[in-house]
Amino acid sequence: MRYLQANRDHWDELVPAHARSAFYDVESFRAGRTTLMPLERKELGDVGGKSMLHLQCHFGLDTISWARLGARVTGADFSPQAIRLARSLSAELDVSARFVCADLYELPGVLDELFDIVFTSYGVLSWLPDLARWGQVIAHFLRPDGIFYIAEIHPFACIFSDQVDTPNLQIHYPYFSSGEPLRFDESGSYATPDTQLEHTTMYEWPYPIGDIVSALVAAGLQIDFLHEFPYASYQMFPLLEQDEDGWWWLPGQKSLIPMTFSLQAHKAP
């Protein structure tokens, strides 16, 4: 509970800062820019007319982007500030999307329906204290034959210090899970490094790729694919360089380490 409260306070406070940030660039989003990466758009394919549950949707930019592509989307997040802003953006832009404010683990008690797609992406898993229950929540919301899709920061890349600005990455964090969270005290974020937050403490849980796959299998899902990519969705390390598609690469090291993975699974009919 202490962890949940600290993380929620942190995320609540980040919302207005993120909404003003160049990283999220809400002005160009208002003008029609999608916040989805080409990866999830290509791998999920046509979402037109499909019902989608977007877990940990932050303030809804990806959720609204899916709605603009024709999906019937519900975004869920535990931050009241995030959900408030997501609702006001979807109303202002006249894009139909529903938003639910709840802790991920409480969602089955709040939302009573099944979805064609459960989607989640980029920076979600480390906030969750229990991966087995995460898998069960996903399985709970999928209709038979429904698809689960995640595009996420690769856990292997998370073992390196994100402060070191040299060509050599330095191992700083564990790859494996001990069950206990890592405590961080940071006044900024990936999107707003210069913000001075009041709620600086947050707790994150590292999960190896095997635990992620196994949590889904244990919940009864069948894995369709697990893809790994040598680029990041944001500037994970200071030395990364961005390409024209928005991906961040290690300079001159085109395939050294995985920094992103995507996974699709389905619920057996």
Ligand X SMILES: C[S@@+](CC[C@H](N)C(=O)[O-])C[C@H]1O[C@@H](n2cnc3c(N)ncnc32)[C@H](O)[C@@H]1O
User: Among residues 97 and 251, whose Cβ is nearest to ligand X?
Assistant: 97
**Closest distance to ligand X from the beta carbon of 236 (Å):** 13
Give the Cα separation of 48 and 219 in Å (integer).
27
User: Among residues 110 and 256, whose Cβ is nearest to ligand X?
Assistant: 110
User: Among residues 236 and 251, whose Cβ is nearest to ligand X?
Assistant: 236
Quick one: tokens of 230?
């040598």
Closest to 58 in 3D by CA, of 38, 35, 75, 46 = 75
**Closest distance to ligand X from the beta carbon of 26 (Å):** 11
**Closest distance to ligand X from the beta carbon of 199 (Å):** 12
**Closest distance to ligand X from the beta carbon of 166 (Å):** 26
Which residues make up the interface to ligand X (CB under 6 A)? 7, 11, 56, 58, 61-62, 77-79, 82, 103-104, 121-124, 127-128
User: Among residues 167 and 240, whose Cβ is nearest to ligand X?
Assistant: 240
CA distances from 170 to 16, 91, 105, 167 (A): 33, 45, 34, 10
Q: Which residue is nearest to ligand X (CB)?
A: 123
**Closest distance to ligand X from the beta carbon of 176 (Å):** 21
**Closest distance to ligand X from the beta carbon of 265 (Å):** 19
* Backbone Cα Rg of the chain: 18
**Closest distance to ligand X from the beta carbon of 50 (Å):** 19
Quick one: tokens of 136?
């069960």
Q: Please give the backbone phi and psi of residue 190, each rounded to the nearest 5 degrees, phi first.
A: -55, -30
User: Among residues 125 and 169, whose Cβ is nearest to ligand X?
Assistant: 125
User: Among residues 124 and 263, whose Cβ is nearest to ligand X?
Assistant: 124
CA distances from 134 to 113, 213, 215, 217, 268 (A): 17, 12, 8, 12, 18
User: Among residues 66 and 249, whose Cβ is nearest to ligand X?
Assistant: 66
Say if CB 112 and CB 136 are below 8 A apart.
Answer: no
Concatenate the DSSP letters of all residues of 44-104 into one string. H---TT-EEEEES-TTSHHHHHHHHTT-EEEEEES-HHHHHHHHHHHHHTT---EEEE--G
Longest CA–CA separation in the chain, Å: 50
Q: Is 42 helix (H, G, I), strand (E, B) or coil?
A: helix
Q: Is 38 helix (H, G, I), strand (E, B) or coil?
A: helix
User: Among residues 82 and 221, whose Cβ is nearest to ligand X?
Assistant: 82
**Closest distance to ligand X from the beta carbon of 197 (Å):** 14
